[in-house]
Amino acid sequence: MDLHTNTDLRAFFEPRAIAVIGSLNEWGGLGYTAIKNMHRFNFTGRIYPVNPSYKEALGLRVYPDVNSVEDPIDLAIVITPKQTVPGIIDQCAHKGAKAAIVVSDGFAEAGEAGALLQKQLVEISRRTGLRIIGPNTIGTLNTQNGLVTNPYFISYDKIHKGGIAYCSQSGIVGAQGQPLNDQAYPISKMCDLGNKCDVNEGDLLNYLANDSETSVIAMHIEDVKDGHQFIDTVQKVAARKPVLLLKPGRTERGSKASASHTGSLAGNERIYDAAFKQAGAIRLNTWREFWEIPRIFVNQPLPRGNRIAIITFTGGIGVASVDAAEEGGLAMADFSPATVSKLSKLSPQLASNPVDLGPIIPVTDDPLPLLEQTIAAVLDDPNVDCVTATLYASTGAETPIYMDIFDRVMKNVTKPVSIWIYGTELAAIEELSRQVQGRGLPAYFDIELAIKALATAARYSRIKKQNVTI
């Protein structure tokens, strides 16, 4: 691993040795909590707590300062009062650390004095080559090696490994503000860029483009530090992996709020929007979309076209879902004569899209084979590019049968499927959702979101084709 190139961000995600500089008070000290989180995540690297007031903490030897650590340090996590940060960063650079995450806040986001302090960090970084994420960040998370720099208590033990990189410049995109485990988000990396005094969204995109664990990048940005660099980077990266952007400031007041929160110009919204689109990024609108839409890119193939088939258990939902499909740029597939014939044999009422199993299921002795034959017929249709199917979460006894059905019907199929799960009990809906996602099928609690996920995949499929022909 070569950490000497200045553009290399690997030390932020794949450090062999970390110094944690901060309070080791076991009642919520931020350094203490960060280390405890890493222990719980089974971090594979070495941890060196740094604090002059302790000799030992969490079973680890504590060093009075970074220089006292005998071994090389790849990454320093700095969680100290803001005035002390420049001096500590300087020490880290002299120690040979490649990277520092500055968790401390009170910098550019907090007024002029903080901005001056932040400027000192930038100067040290420029002078020494030490790369900095932050300040005002909860840092990084890597599900491969158990790295988690979050200094706030994380209430679960593990999160699901998978292909989504969630990036942000807000602490909400972290392990302390989302039910990552309960929702079974398949995660490769997370990163909160904070104030972006050095490492910016373009740098991060470049790193994630080359990260083999990441198959889709979901990025929340409020401002862009270097517009040209970022747009160029998006264009390069989007040709390889989907880049999904949540950028508030669609409205004038939202744009102003963004500027005042980040301490930098939010920029002209319309110019951004056009540039993002041209570069091949896909914009998302809500936090729910930010968390949920990326799932579709993790284990599913891209749709070859934009023709969707929708299988529901009630006609009312089916009709409403047609709007969601059309608004997302999908077209309702016209079934081939062979499919119409197959579905008609199951029941004459089934032969149109959306396929409504609602009237059939109550009068069928065993509805599961009917569900399987319907999904298989629809997936097999050459006029169908992608499918949203519905599952009813009941007692849980049907879960293995559902799984077997998908194992069989998805065999040799290279079309993406998204699942809408409904039922009367939240716990059952959520458990079935986790099971379905464990099989690589993205599951959603809203049919509109299940369809929008496929619409986003179809859109990325077009972006990729255009990039290939360039």
Count CB-CB contacts under 10 A for residue 132.
28
Could you tell me how far CA 365 lies from the centroid of its own chain? 42
Closest CA to 441 of 459, 470, 420: 420
For 165, the enclosing helix (H) or strand (E) is strand 161-168
Instruction: State the nearest-atom distance from the C-beta of 385 to a second copy, in Å.
Output: 16
Nearest distance in Å: CB 447, a second copy: 7
Choice between 137 and 233, CB closer to a second copy: 137
CB neighbourhood size of 153 (10 A): 11
Instruction: Determine the longest span between alpha carbons in the chain, in angstroms.
Output: 78
Distance CA 194, CA 176 (A): 15
Residue 124 or 451: the one with the smaller Cβ distance to a second copy is 451
d(CA 264, CA 260): 7
For residues 167 and 298, which CB has a smaller minimum distance to a second copy in the complex?
167
Q: Pick from 9, 57, 4: which is nearest to 33 by CA? A: 57
Least distance from C-beta 85 to a second copy, angstroms? 15
Q: Are 147 and 20 in contact (CB under 8 A)?
A: no
Backbone φ and ψ of 239, nearest 5°: -70, -20
The least CB distance from residue 171 to a second copy, in Å, is: 5
CB 344, min distance to a second copy, A: 13
- Of 118 and 136, which has the nearer Cβ to a second copy? 136
CB of 288 to a second copy, least distance (A): 5
CA–CA distance, 13 with 165 (Å, rounded to integer): 12
In the complex, least distance from residue 366 CB atom to a second copy, rounded to whole angstroms: 12
Measured from the CB atom, is 155 or 212 closer to a second copy?
155
Q: Which is nearer to a second copy, 61 or 250 (CB)?
A: 250
CB of 113 to a second copy, least distance (A): 12
Distance between CA atoms of 316 and 297, rounded to whole angstroms? Answer: 28
Q: Identify which of residues 90 and 430 has a Cβ nearer to a second copy in the complex.
A: 430
Indicate the residue among 342 and 452 with the shorter CB distance to a second copy.
452
**DSSP SS3 for 395:** coil
CA 341 to CA 77: how far, in whole Å? 63
The single-letter DSSP state of residue 301 is P
| Three-state SS at 217 | strand
Of the candidates 289, 208, 334, 256, the one whose C-alpha atom is nearest the C-alpha of residue 451 is 289
- What angle in degrees, to the nearest 10, is found between the helix axes of 367-380 and 399-410? 30
Nearer to a second copy, 65 or 269 (CB): 269
The terminus-to-terminus CA distance of the chain in angstroms comes to: 33
Q: Closest separation between CB of residue 29 and a second copy, Å?
A: 11
Q: Which is nearer to a second copy, 80 or 215 (CB)?
A: 80
Least Cβ distance, residue 45 to a second copy (angstroms): 24
How far apart, in whole angstroms, are the C-alpha atoms of residue 452 and residue 343? 26
Alpha-carbon distance values, 49 to 18, 29, 124, 224 (Å):
8, 12, 22, 34
